[in-house]
């Protein structure tokens, strides 16, 4: 599979290679070889024919570019593959050539080849997910109590810890890993049904052949052919799409936090990473960019999988082919994003001092909720909220710190002054104390998440 340079920039070479012309055609030959061996063992075709067939089921013996070119006219990649295989077998054994692809159909060989390559693709994704999860869990542990701004609707809310934010990044990835494994178990099944899914041409040997092919390829045996029943297959693709969305969420937050005006995080730099063709000072967040790009492109490919599910009768026309065309792109995008974020998180620079500075720059406004709830013990929630709302407006107009204004308001009220000592009021504006709940949640989730990986 070739990709254009713009997609190549966002992809991983390892994943692209799994779905290139040679890899897919080689997987198709693996199916044909397994089929011939299984049929010979079952007594359906001569052993000599199976030996002749399997001896030339090697992609390197063929001009794969020519096969792919011929597939456009044929309407199926399987047709030129089987034709070339038959011709090659016939060069050595004319009788054996008649047993090539015996009782099978184009969709059997193509779907099974895609299952074989997708299994390897899921393995790549799982390994990279595990590595990224490891980096994130280590970050969360190191920054369990590091205060930073929580932000809602793109505005400062109340302080949280950076570990709390990282846990929110990693938890969906842990869940995604488990769901992908389950979806792979259900979706990565042998496809072998023959012309209409009944394998009638193999007679009473059909079940044995299916079991033998599945055993050789180490694939699950489906209850029946799933030529036009794409639900389990589509679920696997959808899970990859959801993973891309979760990676995009990390990329979005990371891109916002590395902005120079915020300056709380920085992606690794050096060796030409994230530079600019015009501005020497630039340090662009390329990992965030790649993760976001995957999240932008995945929904359209998932939509294709879902849109092509109502396939016609026992073999789809156009819908199956559209699904095949978009399938590799999902995995290529997901793995590219995973590798990019794995690199970023492995060398992420965390500026804890800047995180605290960004809190302090708001003159205590982010502590207004806590102060209001504390004062509500004495004057009720409604009155406390109104007081803090008024004092917050004064912070904005005067530039004074909310702590000072609250202390003044309490000391001006005899009832309040008797209830709240100055030291207690000052504790309401302590960043470390303010993130204690976030730190506790981080600890709890760290233990739970580590137990799953």
Of the listed 276, 398, 418, 436, which one is catalytic?
276
Residue 173: is its pLDDT beyond 90? Answer: yes
Q: What is the mean pLDDT of residues 243-264?
A: 97
Residue 197 inside a domain? The answer is no
Same domain (yes/no): 75, 167:
no
Residue 179 inside a domain? The answer is yes
The question of whether 175 is a catalytic residue gets the answer: no
What's the domain count of the chain? 3
Q: 193-220 pLDDT, tens per residue? A: 999 999 999 999 999 999 999 999 999 9
Q: Are 262 and 358 in contact (CB under 8 A)?
A: yes
Q: Is 212 helix (H, G, I), strand (E, B) or coil?
A: helix
Q: 388-446 pLDDT, tens per residue? A: 999 999 999 999 999 999 999 999 999 899 999 999 999 999 999 999 999 999 999 99
Same domain (yes/no): 89, 124:
no
Local confidence band at 271 (pLDDT 50, 70, 90 cut-offs): low
Same domain (yes/no): 170, 301:
yes
Same domain (yes/no): 71, 137:
no
Residue 51 inside a domain? The answer is yes
Distance in Å from the first CA to the final CA of the chain: 33
Residue 320 inside a domain? The answer is yes
Residue with the bigger pLDDT between 273 and 320: it is 320
Q: What is the mean pLDDT of residues 72-89?
A: 96
Structural domain of 372: 357-448
Residue 194 inside a domain? The answer is no
Same domain (yes/no): 335, 311:
yes
Bridge partners, 304 (sequence order): none
Residue 195 inside a domain? The answer is no
pLDDT for residue 5: 87
Same domain (yes/no): 141, 175:
yes
- What the block records as the tokens of 319 is 């819908």
Residue-wise DSSP of 276-311: -SS-TT----HHHHHHHHHHHHHHHHHHHHHHT-S-
Same domain (yes/no): 76, 132:
no
pLDDT for residue 171: 98
Here the CATH number for the domain that contains residue 378 is 1.10.40
Q: Kindly report each contact of residues 398-406 with a partner whose C-beta sits within 8 Å and lies 24 or more positions away, as own/partner.
A: 399/363, 400/363, 401/363, 401/364, 401/429, 402/363, 402/364, 402/365, 402/367, 402/368, 402/371, 402/429, 403/364, 403/367, 403/428, 403/429, 406/371
pLDDT for residue 6: 86
Residue 321 inside a domain? The answer is yes
Q: 312-364 pLDDT, tens per residue? A: 999 999 999 999 999 999 999 999 999 999 999 999 999 999 999 999 999 99
Of the listed 211, 252, 315, 440, which one is catalytic?
315
Q: Among all chains, which residue has been given the structure tokens 């890993």?
A: 177
Output the average pLDDT for the chain: 95
Here the CATH number for the domain that contains residue 2 is 1.10.275.10
Same domain (yes/no): 283, 182:
yes
Report d(CA 319, CA 304) in Å as an integer. 9
Q: What is the mean pLDDT of residues 234-254?
A: 98
Residue 196 inside a domain? The answer is no
Residue with the bigger pLDDT between 108 and 10: it is 108
Same domain (yes/no): 92, 115:
no
Same domain (yes/no): 116, 239:
yes
Here the CATH number for the domain that contains residue 252 is 1.20.200.10
Q: 110-136 pLDDT, tens per residue? A: 999 999 999 999 999 999 999 999 999
Local confidence band at 279 (pLDDT 50, 70, 90 cut-offs): very low
Q: How does DSSP classify residue 161? A: E
Same domain (yes/no): 175, 207:
no
The question of whether 128 is a catalytic residue gets the answer: no
Task: Taking each helix axis as running N to C, give the angle between helix 231-257 and helix 162-187, from 0 to 180 degrees, rounded to the nearest 10.
Answer: 160
Same domain (yes/no): 267, 364:
no
**CA–CA distance from 247 to each of 179, 209, 396 (Å)?**
15, 42, 37
């Amino acid at each position: 599979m070739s990709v254009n340079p713009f997609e190549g920039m966002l992809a991983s070479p390892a994943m692209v290679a799994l779905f290139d012309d040679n890899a897919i055609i080689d997987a198709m030959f693996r199916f044909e070889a397994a089929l011939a061996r299984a049929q010979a063992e079952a007594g359906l075709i001569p052993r000599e024919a199976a030996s002749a067939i399997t001896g030339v089921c090697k992609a390197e013996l063929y001009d794969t570019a020519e096969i792919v070119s011929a597939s456009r006219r044929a309407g199926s990649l399987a047709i030129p593959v089987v034709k070339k295989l038959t011709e090659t077998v016939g060069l050595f054994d004319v009788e054996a050539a008649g047993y090539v692809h015996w009782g099978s159909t184009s969709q059997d060989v193509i779907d099974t080849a895609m299952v074989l390559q997708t299994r390897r693709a899921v393995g790549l994704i799982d390994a990279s997910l595990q590595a990224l999860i490891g980096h994130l869990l280590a970050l969360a542990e190191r920054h369990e109590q590091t205060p930073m701004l929580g932000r809602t609707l793109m505005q400062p809310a109340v302080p949280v810890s950076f570990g709390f934010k990282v846990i929110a990044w990693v938890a969906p990835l842990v869940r995604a890993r488990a769901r992908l494994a389950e979806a792979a178990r259900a979706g990565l099944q042998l496809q072998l049904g023959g012309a209409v899914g009944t394998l009638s041409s193999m007679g009473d040997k059909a079940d044995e052949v299916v079991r033998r092919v599945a055993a050789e390829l180490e694939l699950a045996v489906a209850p029946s052919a799933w030529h036009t029943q794409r639900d389990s297959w589509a679920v696997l693709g959808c899970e990859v799409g959801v993973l891309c969305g979760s990676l995009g969420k990390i990329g979005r937050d990371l891109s916002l936090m590395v902005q120079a005006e915020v300056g709380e995080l920085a992606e690794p730099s050096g060796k030409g990473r994230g530079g600019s063709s015009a501005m020497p000072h630039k340090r662009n967040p390329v990992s965030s960019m790649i993760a976001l790009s995957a999240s932008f492109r995945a929904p359209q490919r998932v939509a294709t999988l879902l849109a092509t599910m109502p396939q016609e009768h026992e073999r789809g026309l156009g819908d199956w082919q559209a699904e095949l065309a978009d399938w590799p792109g999902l995995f290529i995008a997901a793995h590219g994003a995973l590798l990019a974020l794995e690199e970023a998180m492995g060398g992420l620079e965390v500026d804890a001092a800047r995180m605290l500075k960004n809190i302090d720059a708001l003159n205590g406004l982010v502590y207004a909720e806590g102060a209001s709830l504390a004062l509500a013990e004495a004057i009720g929630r409604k009155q406390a909220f109104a007081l803090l709302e008024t004092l917050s407006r004064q912070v904005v107009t005067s530039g004074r710190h909310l702590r000072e204004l609250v202390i003044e308001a309490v000391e001006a009220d005899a009832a309040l002054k008797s209830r709240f000592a100055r030291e207690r009021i000052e504790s309401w504006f302590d960043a470390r104390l303010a993130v204690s709940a976030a730190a506790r949640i981080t600890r709890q989730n760290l233990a739970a998440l580590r137990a799953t990986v």
